[in-house]
Structure 1
Amino acid sequence: MEGSGTPNGYELVEDEARLVELVAEASTAPRYALDTEFHREQTYFPRVGLVQLAWGERVILLDPLTTSLEPLIALLDSPAIAIMHAPDQDLEILRQVVGRVPARLMDTQTAAGFCGLRSASLRDLLARFLDIDVAKGDRLTDWLRRPLQPEQLAYAAADVRHLTPLWAALQARLEASGRLEWCEEECERLRLRQSAARRPEDAWLRVRELRRLPRRSQPLAIAVAAWRERRAAQLDIPVRYVLSDLALAAVVQSAPDSVAALAAVRGVDGRAMSGSAGKGLLEAIAQARRSPPRVPRKPKGPDRSHLQPVVALVSAWLSQVARDDDLDPALVATRADLTSFLDGEPDARLAGGWRYERYGSRVEELLTGNAAVALEPDGKLRLEKRSGRPL
C-alpha cells in the first residue's frame, strides 16, 4: 500500500476493513473529491475499475475488484459535500453499485459554466484556475486488468487530488458574481436526475427516430424500445447489440407478426432473431397491440405551438445574452429547452428558478407581444420594449 506521505502520494485500498476506517475519517470532512474509472463499451452496465477519493491531504484509490464498495454508503449519506467533475456517469455507477448518490454534490464543470466556460475539461480548469498542468490520460487504458500500472494509478490520483482546491477557486468566483446559489440549484438538479433508475418504458425517448414518429405509432415504440432495454440489461450487452436504432424504428413502422416478417425488416439480423430474442420481440409487439402502453401526456399551459417559427431567433438571442452574461449558453437553455418553454410545459427548464428569473420572464415578454427583438448595427440582437408603431 502507498501512504499519503509516500512520494506517490496516494493509498491503494484493497481491504474492506481499511476502507471502513477511511470512510469514517472522510465523513467528518466538510467536503471530499470523488471520481470513478470504468468501462461500458461491451456491456449494458458499466464495470467499475477504480474509485478515487480525496480529502485534506489524503488521496485514496479503491479497488472494487478486491473489496466491496458498500462502506462508501456511509460517506455518500454524510453531510460532507462531494466535489465531482462532469459526474453524470459516475453517479449512475454509484447508484448501480451501492444504491446511492451523494447526499450533497457540487460539479466543477457546471460551476465553470456559470463562469462562462463551455463544457470545460478538468485539465483545462486546473490550468486556468490553479496553474496546474496534469498529464493527459490514455483513453485506451484498461482499468479492469490487474495489476494496475503505476502510471495508471498516478493518473487516477491526479483526477481527484486537486478537485477540492479547484472548487474553492470556482466558489470564490461564483460568490463574487452572485451566482453561487444558481450553481447550487443546478447541481442539485443534476444529483436528483441521477438518483433514480431509468425506466425501460422511457427508453424510446432517447431514440431520435422514435420520437419523430406520429402519435399513433408511439405506443408500439414504447413497447419495442422497452423490450430492447430489458433484453440488453438481461444479457449485459449494449442496446445496439440487440437492435440498432435504425432497426428499432423499422420494426415499429412495420410491426411484424412472424419470425419471417421480422427477419425481413431492414437492419434486423435474422439469425439473431430466430430464437428466444425474436420470440420475445414478437410477443412484445403482440402485447402492445392487445393493450397499447399509455403515451404520457405532460400537462401544458397555453398552446404556443404557433410560435415555433421564432425558436431559431429566440435561441440566437438567448445564446448571445448568455455569452454577454459570461455564462455557458448550453447551461441557460438548449433549443429543446426553449421548445418546451414555448409549448407551455410547466416543467420546462426555462419555466423555473434562476433561468426564469433572468431569461424565461424576458422571453415571456416577447411571447405576449410586450417586447420585440431588434438587430443592432454590430449584428447583435437586442430585446427591447415594443413601441407598437408599424413601419
Structure 2
Amino acid sequence: MISEKEELLEWRKRAAAQPKGRVVLDLEADSLHRYQEKICLIQYADETGSCLIDPLAIEDMSPFYNWLRDTEVWMHGADYDMCLFQRAWETLPAMIWDTQTAARLLGFRQFGLAALVEHFHGVTLSKSSQKADWARRPLSPTMVTYALNDVNYMLDMADKLMTALREKGRVGWFEEICRHSMERARERYLTGHPDPWRIQGSGKLNRKGLAALRELWAWRDSEAKSWDRPSFMVCSNADLIQWSVALQEQRPVSPSPRFHAHRRNRFTDAVQKFYLLDEDDYPCRPHIQRRQHSEQFEANLARLCKIRDEKAEELDIEGSFLITRASLEAIAEDKEKGMATLLNWQKEALGL
C-alpha cells in the first residue's frame, strides 16, 4: 500500500519506466456509502507486479494525475472510472483500452471481469468486498486481496483479447470505440445534467406532478447531503414518483414511518412548498415529437433489422452492441442523418 508522497514518487519512477500501454488501473469509490462519492483506492499493475495507492492518505496526488494524463492504460468497464477521474482531477488518461469493450467486440456474452478471468485463467474471483466501504481504514486482508485481483490478471487477459482481435481484423474497430467512449465521457462531464430531478418514471407526470417531483427531489438531496449518505438511503426513486403522482392527483401524501421526526417535518415542509407554487412556476414537460410512421418507414426498419441480425450472427456480436434499435429507426426515417450518427466500424461491419 502506497500511502505517503515519497512512496508515490518512487512508484511514479517505476510506472514511467513501463512500456507504452503496459499498465493497468482500477478504482474503488464509496458511492454506496457517501453522498458525494470519491476515489478511495487506486489499483495498479504492470509486468513487474501490482500495488495499491491510497489517495485518502496522500494529500498531494499530482505525481499520479500528471502521470495519468500522459499514459495509456488498460481498464475494465471504464465509464464510471472516467467520471471519477474527471471529478477528482479534471483529467483522463491519454488513452483507455477497455477489456470489456474488447470482449464484447469478440462476441462474449458474459463480459464482466470475473467472467473473463474465469474464462481465460480458470480462476473464480470472490465478490465478498463488492459493496464494501472503501473509505474505511485499515483495509481488511479480504479487501486487499479483492482489490488486487481486479488488476492482477488484466495484462495477460488484454494480450489474449488483442490477439483474438487481430485474428478477426477488429483492432481498428476496438480503437475507434475506445476513443469514442472517452469523447463521450468528456462531453458528459462538461455538459452535466441540467435537470437531475427528471428521474426514470417522470415521463408519466404532468406539469403539476413534475413540480411536486422537483420539490421532493430537492428535499431528498438535501437530506442525503446533510447525512452524507447516498440519496437512495433516504428514499427510493419509486417513492418520489409515487408521492408525485399522488400530489398530481390531489391526494394526500405521508412520509415514511421510518423517518425520524425532523426528517418527517422537513418532508412536510417540502410538500407545503409545492402547494404554494404558482402554476407558472411548474416545470415544462419535455417536448417529444411523436411521428406517425409510414408504411415505407416500417419496411425500411424491418429491412435494417434483418440486416443487423444477419450481420450480428455472422460476426458473432450482440446485435444491440453492433447497432441499437434507436439508431436503426433514425436511419429508417432519414438515411443520411441516421448514418451520420454511426461510427465507421459500425458502417463497415453492417455493410451500409
TM norm structure 2: 0.76
The verdict on how the C-alpha distance between 1:133 and 1:177 changes in structure 2, with shifts beyond 3 A counting, is: same
| 2:156 aligned with 1:136 | no
Deviations 1:191-231 (A, max 9, x none): 23333448453435551x223456x5786488458636743
Matched with 2:151 is: 160
Quick one: which of 246, 249, 261 aligns to 2:241?
A: 249
* Over 6 Å off, 4+ runs: 265-270, 307-313, 345-350
Q: Is the 1:351–1:360 contact (alpha carbons within 8 Å) kept by the matching residues of 2?
A: no
Name the counterpart of 1:123.
114
Letter matched to residue 203 of structure 1: P
Structure of higher RCO (CA pairs closer than 8 Å, 6+ residues apart): 2
Other-structure match for 2:318: 328
| CA displacement 1:332-371 (0-9 Å, x = unmatched) | 2344554565566999798321365146775xxxxxxxxx
Change (3 A) 1:26 1:358: same
**RMSD between aligned residues:** 4.3
Instruction: Summarize the alignment of residues 88-99 of structure 1 with structure 2, pairs less than 5 Å apart.
Output: 88-99=79-90
Aligned AA (1:65)? L
Query: Would you say the 8 A contact 1:203–1:229 is kept in 2?
Result: no
State the AA in 1 paired with 2:96. L
Are residue 353 (structure 1) and residue 346 (structure 2) matched? no
Equivalent pair of 2:220/2:231 in contact (CA under 8 Å): yes
Gaps of 5+ in 2: none
Query: 1: distance between equivalents of 2:272 and 2:330?
Result: 34
SS at match of 1:45: coil
Percent identity between the two aligned chains: 21
CA–CA distance in structure 2, aligned partners of residues 90 and 303 of structure 1: 38
C-alpha separation in 2, matches of 1:97 and 1:160: 21
Structure-2 separation of matches of 1:163 and 1:280: 49
Unmatched tracts of structure 1, length 5 or more? 1-11, 363-391
Q: Using the alignment, how far apart are the partners of 2:173 and 2:213 within structure 1?
A: 35
Residues 33, 55 of structure 1: 8 Å contact kept:
yes
Cα distance in 2 for partners of 1:325, 1:277 equals 54
**TM-score, reference length from structure 1:** 0.69
More helix by share: 2
Distance 1:123 1:231, change over 3 A: same
Q: Residues 11-31 of structure 1: CA distance to partner in whole angstroms, max 9, x if unpaired?
A: x10112221332354245312
Equivalent residues in 2 for 1:278-293, closer than 5 Å: 278-280=268-270, 283=273, 289-293=279-283
- For this pair of structures, how many residues does the alignment match? 343
User: Separation in 2 of the partners of 1:342 and 1:203?
Assistant: 32
1:23 is aligned to: 12
CA 1:199–1:156 in 2, change beyond 3 Å: closer, same or farther?
same
Aligned-partner Cα distance in 2 for 1:191–1:323: 28
1:184 aligns with 2:175: yes
